[in-house]
Structure 1
Amino acid sequence: MDCRNRRPHIIGVDEVGRGSLAGPITVAAVAARISEKRSAKSDKLKKFLRGIRDSKKLSPKQREEWFRNLSLFTCHSSLVWAISSVGSATIDRIGISRAATLAVGRCMRKLTINYGLRTLNSKILLDGSLYAPRTYQNQETIIRGDERIPLIAAASIIAKVTRDGMMTHFDSRYSLYGLAIHKGYGTAMHRAAIIRHGPCALHRASFCKKLH
């Protein structure tokens, strides 16, 4: 979908991996055009989004199904999205909050470059403690936004499926830690593995100081 000269738009943004001990923080931004006119396409999209739920309330199989359905709407030009991940080294250097904001900004630029979306003029709705860079003045951070705003819920699913896939892939390289199971979060199994083997390149040193 080329969004040039088409407005207004609304963008839902969410992240996955903020509290993880290993791996990146991943942000997804999902954009839909706000239309004053009713159409079969817009009605279908609204009905679809009404049924979406926060990724944390879905099983992995359900998340994968929603991800495929979101991809279908993208193919039919109803939705567009962008994804950005910031890795452990950057998180250790600038902190998790700034890393999250950095990823949001990258998503906005991708939406502009790839789809011509005028993100500076779009309404940006972010979940929880997420913020876009200050240049995006029309932004709102909403507590439990992934439960209340369908576009944020869509972003949470895209971010979750994307990051989970990355961590499963990393598991083959760093097989001592069980990354495919816990996706880098601080489970008892993961903490025990860090204590036993020490951290690997994926681990956030600033998050693992007391474990080795």
Structure 2
Amino acid sequence: MKPNLNIEQNYAFEVVAGVDEAGRGSLAGPVVAAAVVISQSVIIDDIKDSKVLSKLKRESCYNKIIHNYCYSIGIASVQEIDKYNILEATKMACIRAVKNLVITPTKVIVDGNMNFFDKRFISIVHGDSTCYSIASASIVAKVTRDHMMQILHKEHPVYGWNNNCGYGTKLHIEAIKTYGKTIHHRTSFKPQF
């Protein structure tokens, strides 16, 4: 299914931000959220949920998004994930992404089923596959986090973060068994060995 503008058009007279996150299920690295306010006069054809796009297509869409739309990033650190839990850290990253926008949205549509105290926030299950602005945010969040993990990979190449981005692949789990965890690993996440 291709994301559409139905939800954004329901709020035609409002400033709508789509929000999504990346890295929620990872064993290492932060959780990264992106907020994107689209311009309905500029529609990028290839926008889809980041998980269904190839790396090359994601990067291409990312470059189009950041040059055509208002966007921002919010990050919750590994320490925050371990202190508060992944759900609360994800909410923190989403709220930070919205606060970092240069314009203030009147509606915020978020992928998933998280509850926010702010009444502007509306959660949409599978929003990244049905809603254009959330799909755009999913791309920005994923590419941004992937770039961060590429940098961390240079510090700790044995974990293969250049390929697995901190997720629990066989190579990553074997490296944890052999070398232990780094400061970038989440202590609250217990991989099954």
| Equivalent in the alignment of 1:110 | 100
Structure 1 match to 2:19: 13
Structure 2 CA distance for aligned equivalents of residues 210 and 62 of structure 1:
33
Any gaps of 5 or more consecutive residues in structure 1?
A: 1-6, 34-41, 74-78
Q: Deviations over 1:3-24 (max 9, x none)?
A: xxxx620110000000000000
User: Identity of aligned pairs, percent?
Assistant: 35
Runs of 4+ in 1 over 4 A off after TM superposition: none
Are 1:158 and 2:140 counterparts? Answer: yes
Deviations 1:57-90 (A, max 9, x none): 11111011001111221xxxxx211101111111
Residues 72-123 of structure 1, C-alpha deviations (whole Å, 9 max, x = no match): 21xxxxx211101111111000000110111111112111xxx2x233xx11
Task: Specify whether residues 209 and 161 from structure 1 end up closer, same or farther in structure 2 by C-alpha distance, changes over 3 A only.
Answer: closer
CA gap 1:138/1:64 in 2 versus in 1, 3 angstroms? same
Distance change (3 Å), C-alpha of 1:193 and 1:202: same
Q: Is contact 1:128–1:145 with CA below 8 Å preserved after alignment?
A: yes
Aligned partners of 2:135, 2:182: CA distance in 1, in Å? 32
Which residue of structure 2 lines up, in the alignment, with residue 68 of structure 1? Answer: 63
C-alpha distance in 1 between matches for 2:163 and 2:58: 16
Which of residues 77, 82, 107 is equivalent to 1:87?
77
User: 3-state DSSP class of the match of 2:159?
Assistant: coil
| 1:201 lines up with 2:187 in the alignment | no
**In the alignment, residue 82 of structure 1 is paired with which amino acid?**
S
Could you tell me which of 155, 177, 184 is aligned with 2:159?
A: 177
Change in CA separation of 1:208 and 1:53 when aligned onto 2, cut-off 3 Å: same
Report which of the two has the higher share of helix. Answer: 1
TM-score (norm 2): 0.88
Q: Quick one: distance in 1 between partners of 2:170 and 2:191? A: 16
Instruction: Kindly indicate whether the alpha-carbon contact (under 8 Å) linking 2:22 and 2:31 is maintained by their aligned counterparts in 1.
Output: yes
CA RMSD of aligned residues (A): 1.6
Q: How many residues align?
A: 181
Q: Secondary structure of the equivalent of 1:172?
A: helix
8 Å contact from structure 2 (residues 76, 89) kept in 1: yes
Q: Give the Cα separation in 2 of the matches to 1:8 and 1:32.
A: 12
Corresponding residue for residue 47 of structure 2: 52
Q: 1:24 to 1:102 in 2, by over 3 A?
A: same
* Residue identity matched to 2:53: L
2:18–2:133 CA contact under 8 A, matched in 1: yes
Partner of 2:90: 100
Give the 3-state SS of the residue equivalent to 1:204 in structure 2: coil
Q: What is the aligned partner in structure 2 of residue 128 from structure 1?
A: 112
